[in-house]
Chains A and B, each alone.
Chain A
Amino acid sequence: MVEEKRILYEHLDVPDINTFDVFRQYDGYKGFEKAIAEYQPEEIAKMVLDSGLKGRGGAGFSTGEKWSFVPRDIEPRYLCCNADESEPGTFSNRYVLEKNPHLLIEGILICCYAMGIETTYVYIRGEFTLGKKMLDAAIKEAYEQGYLGEDIRGTGLNVNIYTHPGAGAYICGEETGLIESLEGKRGQPRNKPPFPAVEGVFRKPTVVQNVETLCNLPFIVSNGVEWYTQMGPTYADTRFDPPKPDANTGTKLYCISGDVNEPGVYELELGLTCTELIEVAGGLRGEEVKAVIPGGSSAPILTHYELDTRLDFTSLTLAKSMLGSGGIIVMNETRNIVDCLLNIMKFYAHESCGQCTPCRWGTPWVRDIVQRIADGNGRQSTITRPKFGIAENGRWGDTGETEEIYEDLDLLESVANNIANVDTMTWNTICVFGIAVSWPAVSYMRKFRPEFEAAIRESKLVTLPVAEATVPPEENYAYQQRFVPKEFADL
Chain B
Amino acid sequence: MSDELIQIETPFAFNEENQREFDKLIGRYPIKEAAMLPTLHLAQRQAGYITPAVMKYVAEQLEVSVMKVKDVVTFYPMFFEEPVGEYVIRVCHTLPCALRDCKEVLDHLKAKLDTDVASETNLAKGTTADGKFTLMKVECLASCDVAPVIMINDDLYKNLTPEKVDEVLNNL
Contact = CB atoms under 8 A, between A and B. Distances in A.
Contacts of B35: 184
A186 B72 contact: yes
A257 B147 CA distance: 8
Contact of A347 (B28, B31, B140): B140
A263 B159 CA distance: 11
A129 B95 contact: no
Contacts of A350: 139
B6 interface: no
Nearest to B144: A257
Contacts of A265: 145
A329 B77 contact: no
Contact of B142 (A86, A258, A351): A86
Contacts of A258: 95-96, 99-100, 144
Given A183-B34, A184-B33, A186-B71, A170 B95 contact: no
A331 B96 CA distance: 9
Interface in A160-185: 160, 162, 164-170, 181-185
B140 A184 contact: no
Interface size range of chain A in the complex? 35 or more
Contacts of B76: 126, 166-169, 187
Interface size range of chain B in the complex? 35 or more
Contact of B145 (A86, A255, A351): A255
Contacts of A85: 142
A185 B94 CA distance: 26
Interface stretch (A87-95, A240-248, A401-409, A457-465): A87-95
A273 B12 CA distance: 57
Interface string A245-288: 00000000001111100011100000000000000000000000
29 contacts: A88-B95, A88-B139, A88-B140, A88-B144, A127-B141, A130-B156, A162-B28, A164-B37, A164-B38, A165-B41, A166-B37, A166-B78, A168-B76, A169-B76, A181-B37, A184-B72, A186-B71, A186-B75, A255-B145, A257-B144, A258-B99, A258-B100, A258-B144, A263-B144, A297-B95, A331-B99, A340-B98, A343-B93, A347-B95
Given A90-B142, A257-B99, A263-B144, 9 more contacts: A167-B37, A169-B77, A184-B34, A202-B34, A258-B100, A259-B99, A329-B95, A343-B94, A353-B75
Interface of B: 28, 30-31, 33-38, 40-41, 62, 64, 68, 71-72, 75-79, 90, 93-96, 98-100, 138-147, 151, 154-156
